[in-house]
A = this chain, B = another copy of it.
Amino acid sequence: MLNQTDIQKFFKPRHIAIVGVSAGEYKFGGMSFLMKLQDGGYPGRLYPINPKAKEIRGLKVYPDILSLPEVPDLAMVCVAAKFVPSVLEQCARIGLRHIHIFTSGFNETGLEEGKKLEGQIASIAKDKGLKIIGPNCMGPYCPSSQLTAWGAIPGLSGTLGIISQSGGLTQRLTEYTDSLGIGVGRAVSFGNGTVLNALDFLEAMAEDESIRVIAMYLESVMNGSRFLQIARHVSNNKPIVLWKGGESSAGAATAASHTGAMFGEQRLWEAFFRQTGAIHVRSMNEWVDIIMALSMLSAPAGKGVFLIGGGGGNSVAYGDLCIREGLEVPQLSESTMESLRRSVPVAGSIAGNPLDMWLTFTDPGYLADVLDLAYKDPSVSMVVVDRLIPRKAFHMPDMIDPTPEIIEFLNHNDHAKPTVFTIDSDGGDLDLTEKGVALRAHFCKAGIPAFPSFRRAARALSHLYSYHNFRKTCESSRK
Protein backbone atom coordinates (compact mmCIF):
# COMPACT_ATOMS: atom_id res chain seq x y z
CA MET A 1 0.00 0.00 0.00
CA LEU A 2 1.23 3.45 -0.92
CA ASN A 3 0.95 6.06 1.82
CA GLN A 4 0.63 9.83 1.44
CA THR A 5 4.41 10.32 1.52
CA ASP A 6 4.90 7.79 -1.26
CA ILE A 7 2.27 9.52 -3.42
CA GLN A 8 3.89 12.88 -2.70
CA LYS A 9 7.37 11.64 -3.63
CA PHE A 10 6.27 9.94 -6.84
CA PHE A 11 3.82 12.56 -8.14
CA LYS A 12 5.00 15.80 -6.54
CA PRO A 13 8.75 15.27 -6.08
CA ARG A 14 10.68 18.38 -4.99
CA HIS A 15 13.87 17.29 -6.77
CA ILE A 16 14.64 14.54 -9.26
CA ALA A 17 17.81 12.66 -10.17
CA ILE A 18 17.85 11.34 -13.73
CA VAL A 19 20.36 8.50 -13.86
CA GLY A 20 21.72 8.01 -17.37
CA VAL A 21 21.33 11.18 -19.46
CA SER A 22 23.21 10.97 -22.75
CA ALA A 23 25.60 13.85 -23.34
CA GLY A 24 25.51 13.76 -27.13
CA GLU A 25 22.59 13.57 -29.51
CA TYR A 26 18.92 13.18 -28.62
CA LYS A 27 18.02 9.86 -27.07
CA PHE A 28 14.70 8.53 -25.86
CA GLY A 29 14.87 7.96 -22.10
CA GLY A 30 17.02 10.07 -19.76
CA MET A 31 17.62 12.81 -22.29
CA SER A 32 13.99 13.08 -23.43
CA PHE A 33 12.80 13.05 -19.78
CA LEU A 34 15.15 15.92 -18.95
CA MET A 35 14.03 17.90 -22.01
CA LYS A 36 10.36 17.48 -21.24
CA LEU A 37 10.71 18.32 -17.57
CA GLN A 38 12.59 21.50 -18.47
CA ASP A 39 10.18 22.48 -21.26
CA GLY A 40 7.15 21.63 -19.11
CA GLY A 41 8.33 24.07 -16.45
CA TYR A 42 9.12 21.56 -13.69
CA PRO A 43 9.94 23.85 -10.74
CA GLY A 44 12.18 21.53 -8.66
CA ARG A 45 15.91 20.89 -8.97
CA LEU A 46 17.01 18.37 -11.61
CA TYR A 47 20.17 16.28 -11.23
CA PRO A 48 21.35 14.61 -14.44
CA ILE A 49 23.77 11.74 -13.79
CA ASN A 50 26.44 10.68 -16.27
CA PRO A 51 30.03 9.76 -15.28
CA LYS A 52 31.43 11.19 -18.53
CA ALA A 53 29.80 14.62 -18.77
CA LYS A 54 30.15 17.90 -16.86
CA GLU A 55 27.11 19.84 -18.09
CA ILE A 56 23.97 18.95 -20.06
CA ARG A 57 21.35 21.48 -21.17
CA GLY A 58 22.69 24.06 -18.72
CA LEU A 59 22.67 21.75 -15.70
CA LYS A 60 25.63 20.47 -13.65
CA VAL A 61 26.03 16.73 -14.18
CA TYR A 62 26.95 14.34 -11.35
CA PRO A 63 28.96 11.15 -11.87
CA ASP A 64 26.71 9.01 -9.66
CA ILE A 65 23.99 9.00 -7.01
CA LEU A 66 26.54 9.09 -4.18
CA SER A 67 27.96 12.46 -5.30
CA LEU A 68 24.62 14.32 -5.22
CA PRO A 69 24.55 17.40 -2.92
CA GLU A 70 21.17 16.37 -1.46
CA VAL A 71 18.80 13.40 -1.42
CA PRO A 72 16.21 13.88 -4.21
CA ASP A 73 12.63 12.73 -3.68
CA LEU A 74 12.69 10.64 -6.85
CA ALA A 75 15.22 8.91 -9.10
CA MET A 76 14.47 8.10 -12.74
CA VAL A 77 16.79 5.28 -13.77
CA CYS A 78 17.63 5.07 -17.48
CA VAL A 79 20.99 3.24 -17.57
CA ALA A 80 21.40 -0.15 -19.28
CA ALA A 81 19.80 -3.09 -17.47
CA LYS A 82 23.02 -4.59 -16.11
CA PHE A 83 23.84 -1.35 -14.24
CA VAL A 84 20.43 -1.02 -12.61
CA PRO A 85 21.10 -3.13 -9.46
CA SER A 86 24.15 -1.07 -8.50
CA VAL A 87 22.20 2.19 -9.01
CA LEU A 88 19.52 0.84 -6.67
CA GLU A 89 22.18 -0.01 -4.06
CA GLN A 90 23.47 3.54 -4.26
CA CYS A 91 19.95 4.97 -3.92
CA ALA A 92 19.38 2.87 -0.82
CA ARG A 93 22.73 4.03 0.60
CA ILE A 94 21.72 7.73 0.56
CA GLY A 95 18.11 7.05 1.62
CA LEU A 96 16.55 7.69 -1.77
CA ARG A 97 13.62 5.26 -1.61
CA HIS A 98 11.36 6.30 -4.50
CA ILE A 99 12.57 5.09 -7.85
CA HIS A 100 11.22 4.86 -11.38
CA ILE A 101 13.13 2.41 -13.64
CA PHE A 102 12.67 3.26 -17.33
CA THR A 103 15.21 0.68 -18.51
CA SER A 104 14.02 -2.43 -20.33
CA GLY A 105 15.78 -5.76 -20.82
CA PHE A 106 14.34 -7.79 -17.92
CA ASN A 107 11.66 -10.52 -17.70
CA GLU A 108 10.04 -9.29 -20.93
CA THR A 109 13.03 -10.49 -22.99
CA GLY A 110 12.36 -14.08 -21.96
CA LEU A 111 16.14 -14.48 -21.49
CA GLU A 112 17.84 -15.87 -18.36
CA GLU A 113 20.00 -12.78 -17.95
CA GLY A 114 16.96 -10.49 -17.93
CA LYS A 115 15.05 -12.64 -15.47
CA LYS A 116 18.03 -12.75 -13.14
CA LEU A 117 18.39 -8.97 -13.20
CA GLU A 118 14.68 -8.49 -12.47
CA GLY A 119 15.01 -10.90 -9.55
CA GLN A 120 17.84 -8.72 -8.20
CA ILE A 121 15.62 -5.62 -8.40
CA ALA A 122 12.92 -7.37 -6.41
CA SER A 123 15.33 -8.57 -3.76
CA ILE A 124 17.14 -5.23 -3.33
CA ALA A 125 13.77 -3.48 -3.06
CA LYS A 126 12.67 -5.91 -0.36
CA ASP A 127 15.92 -5.71 1.60
CA LYS A 128 16.22 -1.96 1.54
CA GLY A 129 12.55 -0.98 1.56
CA LEU A 130 12.64 0.69 -1.85
CA LYS A 131 9.42 1.70 -3.62
CA ILE A 132 9.95 1.06 -7.31
CA ILE A 133 7.84 1.81 -10.41
CA GLY A 134 8.96 -0.43 -13.29
CA PRO A 135 11.23 -1.54 -14.80
CA ASN A 136 10.46 -1.20 -18.52
CA CYS A 137 8.04 1.74 -18.27
CA MET A 138 7.50 5.47 -18.50
CA GLY A 139 6.76 6.00 -14.80
CA PRO A 140 4.75 8.78 -13.15
CA TYR A 141 3.07 11.82 -14.76
CA CYS A 142 1.30 14.63 -12.92
CA PRO A 143 0.43 17.86 -14.74
CA SER A 144 -0.47 19.80 -11.58
CA SER A 145 3.10 19.49 -10.33
CA GLN A 146 4.66 19.89 -13.80
CA LEU A 147 5.94 16.33 -13.54
CA THR A 148 5.68 15.88 -17.29
CA ALA A 149 8.60 13.68 -18.32
CA TRP A 150 6.53 12.07 -21.10
CA GLY A 151 2.87 13.15 -21.12
CA ALA A 152 1.12 15.92 -22.99
CA ILE A 153 2.75 19.36 -23.08
CA PRO A 154 1.15 21.59 -21.93
CA GLY A 155 -0.42 19.07 -19.61
CA LEU A 156 -3.97 19.93 -18.66
CA SER A 157 -4.64 19.11 -15.02
CA GLY A 158 -7.89 17.35 -14.18
CA THR A 159 -9.66 14.43 -12.60
CA LEU A 160 -8.58 11.49 -14.75
CA GLY A 161 -6.37 8.82 -13.19
CA ILE A 162 -4.39 6.47 -15.45
CA ILE A 163 -2.78 3.16 -14.47
CA SER A 164 -1.09 1.39 -17.35
CA GLN A 165 1.25 -1.37 -18.36
CA SER A 166 2.04 0.40 -21.64
CA GLY A 167 4.00 3.63 -21.80
CA GLY A 168 3.22 4.21 -25.46
CA LEU A 169 -0.54 3.84 -25.07
CA THR A 170 -0.54 6.01 -21.96
CA GLN A 171 1.49 8.72 -23.63
CA ARG A 172 -0.97 8.72 -26.53
CA LEU A 173 -3.92 8.78 -24.11
CA THR A 174 -2.59 11.86 -22.31
CA GLU A 175 -2.11 13.69 -25.61
CA TYR A 176 -5.51 12.63 -26.88
CA THR A 177 -7.49 13.58 -23.76
CA ASP A 178 -5.55 16.84 -23.47
CA SER A 179 -6.55 17.81 -27.01
CA LEU A 180 -10.21 17.37 -26.03
CA GLY A 181 -10.01 19.36 -22.82
CA ILE A 182 -9.89 16.38 -20.45
CA GLY A 183 -7.28 16.90 -17.73
CA VAL A 184 -5.21 14.26 -15.97
CA GLY A 185 -4.80 14.09 -12.18
CA ARG A 186 -2.16 11.37 -11.97
CA ALA A 187 -0.93 8.80 -14.45
CA VAL A 188 1.46 5.94 -13.98
CA SER A 189 2.98 3.58 -16.52
CA PHE A 190 4.32 0.74 -14.38
CA GLY A 191 5.67 -1.77 -16.95
CA ASN A 192 6.74 -5.10 -15.46
CA GLY A 193 5.36 -4.13 -12.05
CA THR A 194 8.14 -5.94 -10.17
CA VAL A 195 7.62 -4.06 -6.91
CA LEU A 196 4.63 -1.74 -7.20
CA ASN A 197 1.79 -3.00 -9.34
CA ALA A 198 -1.61 -2.04 -10.71
CA LEU A 199 -3.43 -2.82 -7.45
CA ASP A 200 -1.19 -0.53 -5.41
CA PHE A 201 -2.01 2.38 -7.69
CA LEU A 202 -5.68 1.47 -7.97
CA GLU A 203 -6.04 1.54 -4.18
CA ALA A 204 -4.25 4.88 -4.02
CA MET A 205 -6.43 6.44 -6.74
CA ALA A 206 -9.58 5.04 -5.15
CA GLU A 207 -8.71 6.99 -1.98
CA ASP A 208 -7.75 10.13 -3.88
CA GLU A 209 -10.72 12.49 -3.99
CA SER A 210 -9.23 14.50 -6.84
CA ILE A 211 -9.57 11.48 -9.17
CA ARG A 212 -13.07 10.91 -10.59
CA VAL A 213 -12.48 8.43 -13.44
CA ILE A 214 -9.81 5.71 -13.50
CA ALA A 215 -8.47 4.49 -16.86
CA MET A 216 -6.46 1.27 -16.86
CA TYR A 217 -4.51 -0.63 -19.49
CA LEU A 218 -3.44 -4.07 -18.24
CA GLU A 219 -1.93 -7.09 -19.90
CA SER A 220 -1.84 -9.17 -16.74
CA VAL A 221 -2.75 -9.18 -13.09
CA MET A 222 -0.76 -11.06 -10.46
CA ASN A 223 -3.55 -11.41 -7.92
CA GLY A 224 -6.86 -11.80 -9.70
CA SER A 225 -9.13 -12.32 -6.73
CA ARG A 226 -7.76 -9.30 -4.89
CA PHE A 227 -8.14 -7.22 -8.05
CA LEU A 228 -11.77 -8.32 -8.35
CA GLN A 229 -12.46 -7.37 -4.76
CA ILE A 230 -10.86 -3.94 -5.04
CA ALA A 231 -12.33 -3.18 -8.47
CA ARG A 232 -15.84 -4.00 -7.32
CA HIS A 233 -15.45 -1.70 -4.35
CA VAL A 234 -13.95 1.13 -6.43
CA SER A 235 -16.62 0.88 -9.17
CA ASN A 236 -19.26 1.76 -6.65
CA ASN A 237 -17.64 5.13 -6.13
CA LYS A 238 -15.93 5.95 -9.40
CA PRO A 239 -15.78 4.24 -12.76
CA ILE A 240 -12.87 2.06 -13.88
CA VAL A 241 -12.40 1.95 -17.65
CA LEU A 242 -10.25 -1.08 -18.36
CA TRP A 243 -8.55 -1.96 -21.62
CA LYS A 244 -7.35 -5.53 -21.24
CA GLY A 245 -4.53 -6.22 -23.70
CA GLY A 246 -3.61 -9.75 -24.68
CA GLU A 247 -7.16 -11.10 -24.85
CA SER A 248 -6.41 -13.20 -27.91
CA SER A 249 -3.72 -15.83 -28.08
CA ALA A 250 -1.83 -13.61 -30.53
CA GLY A 251 -2.12 -10.62 -28.23
CA ALA A 252 -1.24 -12.67 -25.17
CA ALA A 253 1.95 -14.03 -26.71
CA THR A 254 2.99 -10.49 -27.55
CA ALA A 255 2.04 -9.31 -24.07
CA ALA A 256 4.40 -11.88 -22.60
CA SER A 257 7.29 -10.41 -24.56
CA HIS A 258 6.10 -6.87 -23.88
CA THR A 259 5.94 -6.89 -20.09
CA GLY A 260 7.03 -10.42 -19.30
CA ALA A 261 3.90 -11.24 -17.36
CA MET A 262 1.48 -14.12 -17.36
CA PHE A 263 -1.91 -13.41 -18.90
CA GLY A 264 -5.33 -14.51 -17.76
CA GLU A 265 -8.04 -16.69 -19.19
CA GLN A 266 -10.62 -14.99 -21.37
CA ARG A 267 -13.52 -16.46 -19.38
CA LEU A 268 -12.12 -15.24 -16.07
CA TRP A 269 -11.94 -11.74 -17.49
CA GLU A 270 -15.53 -11.89 -18.69
CA ALA A 271 -16.63 -12.82 -15.19
CA PHE A 272 -14.45 -10.04 -13.83
CA PHE A 273 -16.17 -7.37 -15.92
CA ARG A 274 -19.63 -8.72 -15.09
CA GLN A 275 -18.98 -8.78 -11.36
CA THR A 276 -17.06 -5.56 -10.89
CA GLY A 277 -18.91 -3.13 -13.16
CA ALA A 278 -15.56 -2.13 -14.64
CA ILE A 279 -16.07 -0.89 -18.20
CA HIS A 280 -14.49 -3.09 -20.85
CA VAL A 281 -12.89 -1.32 -23.82
CA ARG A 282 -10.80 -2.71 -26.65
CA SER A 283 -9.16 0.17 -28.47
CA MET A 284 -7.66 3.61 -27.93
CA ASN A 285 -10.68 5.38 -29.44
CA GLU A 286 -13.15 3.43 -27.34
CA TRP A 287 -11.03 4.17 -24.24
CA VAL A 288 -11.02 7.93 -24.87
CA ASP A 289 -14.69 8.02 -25.88
CA ILE A 290 -16.02 6.54 -22.66
CA ILE A 291 -13.55 8.47 -20.51
CA MET A 292 -14.95 11.61 -22.12
CA ALA A 293 -18.57 10.58 -21.60
CA LEU A 294 -17.95 9.68 -17.93
CA SER A 295 -15.98 12.86 -17.29
CA MET A 296 -18.55 15.22 -18.81
CA LEU A 297 -21.99 13.65 -18.39
CA SER A 298 -24.31 12.91 -15.48
CA ALA A 299 -25.99 9.54 -15.00
CA PRO A 300 -28.74 8.81 -17.54
CA ALA A 301 -32.05 7.59 -16.08
CA GLY A 302 -32.51 4.89 -18.74
CA LYS A 303 -31.25 3.76 -22.12
CA GLY A 304 -33.68 5.62 -24.39
CA VAL A 305 -31.88 7.86 -26.88
CA PHE A 306 -33.37 10.69 -28.92
CA LEU A 307 -31.58 11.25 -32.26
CA ILE A 308 -31.58 14.64 -33.95
CA GLY A 309 -30.39 15.71 -37.40
CA GLY A 310 -28.85 13.49 -39.92
CA GLY A 311 -30.96 13.24 -43.06
CA GLY A 312 -33.01 10.20 -44.03
CA GLY A 313 -30.28 7.62 -44.59
CA ASN A 314 -28.32 8.69 -41.54
CA SER A 315 -31.46 8.56 -39.40
CA VAL A 316 -32.04 4.95 -40.40
CA ALA A 317 -28.40 4.02 -39.85
CA TYR A 318 -28.24 5.80 -36.49
CA GLY A 319 -31.30 3.93 -35.26
CA ASP A 320 -29.67 0.63 -36.27
CA LEU A 321 -26.39 1.51 -34.53
CA CYS A 322 -28.15 2.46 -31.29
CA ILE A 323 -29.99 -0.86 -31.14
CA ARG A 324 -26.79 -2.77 -31.97
CA GLU A 325 -25.09 -1.04 -29.01
CA GLY A 326 -27.86 -2.09 -26.63
CA LEU A 327 -29.57 1.29 -26.47
CA GLU A 328 -33.21 2.06 -27.22
CA VAL A 329 -34.73 4.53 -29.67
CA PRO A 330 -38.11 5.06 -28.02
CA GLN A 331 -41.25 6.47 -29.57
CA LEU A 332 -41.75 9.98 -28.26
CA SER A 333 -44.74 10.86 -26.11
CA GLU A 334 -47.87 12.06 -27.89
CA SER A 335 -47.42 15.63 -26.62
CA THR A 336 -43.81 15.76 -27.87
CA MET A 337 -44.96 14.44 -31.25
CA GLU A 338 -47.71 17.02 -31.44
CA SER A 339 -45.25 19.83 -30.87
CA LEU A 340 -42.79 18.37 -33.36
CA ARG A 341 -45.40 17.91 -36.08
CA ARG A 342 -46.25 21.58 -35.90
CA SER A 343 -42.68 22.50 -36.92
CA VAL A 344 -41.72 19.71 -39.33
CA PRO A 345 -42.93 19.82 -42.96
CA VAL A 346 -44.51 16.69 -44.43
CA ALA A 347 -42.06 16.27 -47.32
CA GLY A 348 -38.28 15.79 -47.02
CA SER A 349 -38.21 15.47 -43.24
CA ILE A 350 -39.21 12.95 -40.61
CA ALA A 351 -41.00 14.02 -37.42
CA GLY A 352 -40.28 11.51 -34.68
CA ASN A 353 -37.29 9.71 -33.25
CA PRO A 354 -34.93 9.98 -35.12
CA LEU A 355 -35.90 13.52 -36.03
CA ASP A 356 -34.68 14.35 -39.54
CA MET A 357 -35.10 18.09 -39.85
CA TRP A 358 -32.70 20.36 -41.71
CA LEU A 359 -33.43 23.33 -39.46
CA THR A 360 -31.66 21.62 -36.51
CA PHE A 361 -28.37 22.09 -38.39
CA THR A 362 -28.75 25.78 -39.08
CA ASP A 363 -31.02 27.29 -36.44
CA PRO A 364 -29.77 27.01 -32.83
CA GLY A 365 -33.03 28.44 -31.52
CA TYR A 366 -35.03 25.70 -33.21
CA LEU A 367 -32.57 23.06 -31.94
CA ALA A 368 -32.94 24.45 -28.41
CA ASP A 369 -36.73 24.18 -28.66
CA VAL A 370 -36.44 20.56 -29.81
CA LEU A 371 -33.98 19.76 -27.00
CA ASP A 372 -36.32 21.29 -24.44
CA LEU A 373 -39.10 19.02 -25.72
CA ALA A 374 -36.78 16.00 -25.45
CA TYR A 375 -35.70 16.87 -21.90
CA LYS A 376 -39.37 16.97 -20.86
CA ASP A 377 -40.23 13.65 -22.53
CA PRO A 378 -39.97 10.78 -19.99
CA SER A 379 -39.03 8.23 -22.70
CA VAL A 380 -35.82 10.15 -23.47
CA SER A 381 -32.76 9.65 -21.23
CA MET A 382 -29.96 10.73 -23.59
CA VAL A 383 -29.71 12.81 -26.77
CA VAL A 384 -27.39 12.57 -29.78
CA VAL A 385 -27.28 15.57 -32.11
CA ASP A 386 -25.69 15.29 -35.54
CA ARG A 387 -23.67 18.32 -36.66
CA LEU A 388 -23.08 19.23 -40.25
CA ILE A 389 -20.08 21.00 -41.66
CA PRO A 390 -21.08 23.17 -44.63
CA ARG A 391 -19.07 21.82 -47.52
CA LYS A 392 -18.53 22.13 -51.21
CA ALA A 393 -20.58 19.07 -52.03
CA PHE A 394 -23.70 20.52 -50.43
CA HIS A 395 -23.15 23.75 -52.32
CA MET A 396 -24.46 25.59 -49.31
CA PRO A 397 -23.90 29.26 -48.78
CA ASP A 398 -21.83 30.02 -45.68
CA MET A 399 -23.88 30.09 -42.53
CA ILE A 400 -23.27 31.60 -39.14
CA ASP A 401 -21.78 28.97 -36.83
CA PRO A 402 -24.58 28.05 -34.42
CA THR A 403 -22.16 26.35 -31.98
CA PRO A 404 -21.63 29.15 -29.41
CA GLU A 405 -25.39 29.57 -29.01
CA ILE A 406 -25.90 25.80 -28.65
CA ILE A 407 -23.16 25.56 -26.00
CA GLU A 408 -24.61 28.52 -24.14
CA PHE A 409 -28.03 26.88 -24.15
CA LEU A 410 -26.74 23.49 -22.93
CA ASN A 411 -24.44 24.83 -20.24
CA HIS A 412 -27.24 26.93 -18.72
CA ASN A 413 -30.05 24.41 -18.89
CA ASP A 414 -30.76 22.86 -15.51
CA HIS A 415 -33.01 20.23 -17.05
CA ALA A 416 -30.55 19.04 -19.68
CA LYS A 417 -30.19 15.27 -19.94
CA PRO A 418 -26.88 13.76 -21.12
CA THR A 419 -26.44 15.26 -24.61
CA VAL A 420 -23.64 14.55 -27.08
CA PHE A 421 -22.78 15.57 -30.61
CA THR A 422 -21.41 13.73 -33.62
CA ILE A 423 -19.32 15.38 -36.33
CA ASP A 424 -18.29 13.35 -39.34
CA SER A 425 -15.27 14.81 -41.10
CA ASP A 426 -13.36 11.66 -41.95
CA GLY A 427 -11.38 11.27 -45.16
CA GLY A 428 -8.56 13.05 -46.90
CA ASP A 429 -10.15 16.48 -47.34
CA LEU A 430 -8.04 18.88 -45.27
CA ASP A 431 -10.57 21.69 -45.22
CA LEU A 432 -13.35 19.41 -44.02
CA THR A 433 -11.03 17.82 -41.47
CA GLU A 434 -9.88 21.12 -40.04
CA LYS A 435 -13.44 22.36 -39.65
CA GLY A 436 -14.59 19.05 -38.17
CA VAL A 437 -11.75 18.72 -35.67
CA ALA A 438 -12.04 22.35 -34.60
CA LEU A 439 -15.78 21.97 -34.10
CA ARG A 440 -15.28 18.77 -32.11
CA ALA A 441 -12.67 20.42 -29.88
CA HIS A 442 -14.92 23.45 -29.44
CA PHE A 443 -17.72 21.29 -27.99
CA CYS A 444 -15.43 19.10 -25.89
CA LYS A 445 -13.50 21.99 -24.38
CA ALA A 446 -16.85 23.45 -23.35
CA GLY A 447 -17.55 20.22 -21.47
CA ILE A 448 -19.92 18.73 -24.07
CA PRO A 449 -18.82 15.39 -25.58
CA ALA A 450 -18.50 15.35 -29.37
CA PHE A 451 -17.54 12.24 -31.33
CA PRO A 452 -16.15 11.81 -34.84
CA SER A 453 -18.64 9.09 -35.73
CA PHE A 454 -22.11 8.09 -34.62
CA ARG A 455 -20.96 4.52 -33.93
CA ARG A 456 -18.49 5.81 -31.37
CA ALA A 457 -21.06 8.09 -29.72
CA ALA A 458 -23.51 5.20 -29.40
CA ARG A 459 -20.87 2.89 -27.90
CA ALA A 460 -19.84 5.55 -25.36
CA LEU A 461 -23.46 6.17 -24.31
CA SER A 462 -24.03 2.46 -24.02
CA HIS A 463 -21.05 2.14 -21.64
CA LEU A 464 -22.25 5.21 -19.73
CA TYR A 465 -25.68 3.71 -19.23
CA SER A 466 -24.32 0.27 -18.26
CA TYR A 467 -21.95 1.69 -15.67
CA HIS A 468 -24.58 3.80 -13.94
CA ASN A 469 -27.05 0.96 -14.15
CA PHE A 470 -24.50 -1.29 -12.38
CA ARG A 471 -24.16 1.24 -9.58
CA LYS A 472 -27.92 1.61 -9.26
CA THR A 473 -28.37 -2.17 -9.13
CA CYS A 474 -25.70 -2.46 -6.41
CA GLU A 475 -27.34 0.31 -4.40
CA SER A 476 -30.78 -1.25 -4.54
CA SER A 477 -29.38 -4.68 -3.60
CA ARG A 478 -27.80 -3.11 -0.51
CA LYS A 479 -31.14 -1.70 0.66
- Contact surface of A with B, Cβ cutoff 8 Å: 26, 32, 35-36, 39, 80-81, 103-105, 109, 111, 114, 150-153, 164-172, 174-176, 178-181, 217, 219, 243, 245-255, 257-259, 282-285, 288, 310-324, 328-329, 346-348, 350, 352, 354, 356, 391-397, 424, 426-430, 432-434, 437-438, 440-441, 444-445, 452-455
Contacts and interface: CB of A to CB of B under 8 A. Distances in A.
A81 to B, nearest CB: 6
26 contacts: A105-B347, A109-B346, A152-B393, A164-B313, A166-B313, A166-B316, A167-B311, A168-B311, A168-B312, A179-B429, A180-B428, A219-B316, A247-B320, A251-B319, A251-B323, A254-B319, A257-B350, A258-B315, A258-B316, A282-B320, A283-B454, A284-B424, A428-B440, A428-B445, A430-B434, A433-B437
A103 B345 CA distance: 13
B250 A322 contact: yes
A115 to B, nearest CB: 13
Contact of A245 (B174, B316, B437, B441): B316
B257 A175 contact: no
A23 to B, nearest CB: 16
A427 B319 contact: no
Given A105-B346, A180-B427, A430-B438, 14 more contacts: A80-B347, A152-B392, A153-B392, A166-B312, A167-B312, A168-B310, A245-B313, A245-B320, A250-B319, A250-B323, A255-B316, A258-B312, A258-B313, A283-B453
Closest 4 A/B residue pairs (Cβ): A166-B313, A428-B441, A105-B347, A248-B323
A281 to B, nearest CB: 10
B453 A428 contact: no
A32 to B, nearest CB: 5
Contacts of A258: 312-313, 315-316, 350, 356
B248 A352 contact: no
A393 B151 contact: yes
Contact of A150 (B217, B393, B452, B454): B393
Contacts of A438: 428, 430
A354 B254 contact: yes
A308 B318 CA distance: 34
Max chain B C-beta neighbours (<10 A), residue from A169, A257, A395: A395
Given A181-B428, A320-B250, A313 B169 contact: yes
Contacts of A153: 392-393
A285 B105 contact: no
